[in-house]
A and B are shown apart, each in its own frame.
Chain A
Amino acid sequence: MRQFEEHAPLAEVKTEFAIPEKDFNTAGKGSSELKNLLKRLGVDSVVLRRIAVASYEAEINVAAHSKGGIMYGTVYDDLIHVRFEDEGPGIANIEQAMTPGFSTADDLVRELGFGAGLGLPNIKKNSDAMRLVSVAGGRTKLEFLIYFAGRFE
Chain B
Amino acid sequence: MILSDLVTLLEGEVLFPEADLDREVPCAFASDMISDILMCTKEPTLLLTGLTNNQVIRLSDMIDLTAIVFVRGKKPLQDVIDMAQERGLPIITTKFTLYRCSGLLFNAGLRSCKI
Chain A residues engaging chain B, CB cutoff 8 angstroms: 24-25, 27-29, 31-32, 35-36, 45-46, 49-50, 52-53, 55-57, 60, 112-119, 122, 126
Contacts and interface: CB of A to CB of B under 8 A. Distances in A.
B112 interface: no
A28 B38 contact: no
B32 A53 contact: no
Contacts of A25: 54
B58 A28 contact: yes
B35 A28 contact: no
Interface of B: 32-36, 38-39, 41-42, 49, 51, 53-56, 58-59, 61-64
B51 A32 contact: no
B61 A31 contact: yes
Given A31-B62, A49-B62, A113-B55, A118 B42 contact: no
B41 A53 contact: yes
19 contacts: A24-B54, A24-B55, A27-B58, A28-B61, A32-B61, A32-B62, A36-B61, A46-B42, A52-B62, A60-B34, A112-B34, A112-B51, A113-B32, A113-B33, A113-B34, A114-B33, A115-B33, A116-B33, A116-B35
B35 A126 contact: no
B35 A32 contact: no
B55 A122 contact: no
Nearest to B40: A49
Contacts of B34: 60, 112-114, 116
Nearest to A51: B62
A63 to B, nearest CB: 10
Given A28-B59, A32-B61, A35-B61, A56 B53 contact: no
Contact of B56 (A27, A52, A53, A113): A113
A43 to B, nearest CB: 13
Contacts of A114: 33-35, 55
Nearest to B41: A49
Contacts of A46: 41-42
